Amino acid sequence: MCVYNSVCSTFFAPSNLCGLYGMHCKYIHSCPMWKNEGPCFDCIFVVTNPEVEGMCGLDIACILCFFSFKYQGTLYPCAVLRWFDCMGDGPDIATGMWIIHPSYNACNVPHIAIIHIDVIYHVALS
């Protein structure tokens, strides 16, 4: 098993900044100590329902750890994350952004999960 503090992800995001073919690389961090100043745990968008377009098919999470392991010769790159829930059914009227809050289970414990990194849609820019 290997643990990583960051991964480089390539996204298809067509725009003038991304160049002719729309490919863009972005680092996603999960660092307990970032530049000797404190932790840096990036948030991401995760595809949870590929049948639905937009935010209704995505969930938001904070990356706690990246790791990979081999099982029967196959490498599985994964992430440990903490889920967030959206407040309301749409973006905030004043800001146009979705309001989120940490997700908890019935025992008031943070909702933590392990996912394959293939379901990460994009880093949530701050």
CA dihedral of residues 70, 72, 74, 78 (deg, nearest 10): -40
Region 40-55 average pLDDT: 90
Instruction: Please give the share of the chain, as a percent, with pLDDT higher than 70.
Output: 90
* Whether the predicted pLDDT of 122 surpasses 90: no
* Whether the predicted pLDDT of 53 surpasses 80: yes
pLDDT at position 8, please? 84
* Whether the predicted pLDDT of 115 surpasses 90: yes
pLDDT at position 17, please? 61
